[in-house]
């Protein structure tokens, strides 16, 4: 009777473990990397939004980012920033 219980629940446990390592864990890593990127934004960074707009960070608030696009300025939530193309290099004066 104990082995029939194991053969019933065993495949479900194996399925969950495979599902966790192939889908859940990589997604959590991507979300963590995106949160770190969004929290480390600085003025002058070249960014790309989720909608595909490219621009340069002009000002940053707690929840929003103002981006310069050619001659206009657009305001987005931080969560709308998909990628930082090029970060500003701060030169230290010696």
pLDDT higher than threshold 60 for residue 16: yes
Looking at residue 2, its pLDDT comes to 57
Higher-confidence position of 2 and 51: 51
Q: What average pLDDT does range 15-19 have in this prediction?
A: 93
Looking at residue 86, its pLDDT comes to 78
Q: What average pLDDT does range 23-34 have in this prediction?
A: 93
| Topology annotation, domain 2-86 | SH3 type barrels. (2.30.30)
pLDDT by residue (tens digit) across 63-76? 999 999 888 999 99
Looking at residue 93, its pLDDT comes to 34
User: What is the SS3 assignment for 17-66?
Assistant: HHHHHHHHHHHHHHHHHHHHHHHCCCCCCEEEECCCCEEEEEEECCCEEE
- Each domain of the chain, given as residue ranges in start order, spans 2-86
pTM, two decimal places: 0.67
Looking at residue 92, its pLDDT comes to 39
pLDDT by residue (tens digit) across 37-49? 988 999 999 999 9
Q: 52: which 2 tokens? A: 């595909």
């Amino acid at each position: 009777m104990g082995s029939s219980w194991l053969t019933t629940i065993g495949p479900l446990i194996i399925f969950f473990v495979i599902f966790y390592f192939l889908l859940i864990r990589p997604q959590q890593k991507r979300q963590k990397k995106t949160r770190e990127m969004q929290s480390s934004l600085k003025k002058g960074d070249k960014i790309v939004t989720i909608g595909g707009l490219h621009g340069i960070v002009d000002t940053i608030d707690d929840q929003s980012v103002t981006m310069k696009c050619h001659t206009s300025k657009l305001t987005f939530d931080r969560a709308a920033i998909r990628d930082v193309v090029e970060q500003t290099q701060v030169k230290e004066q010696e």
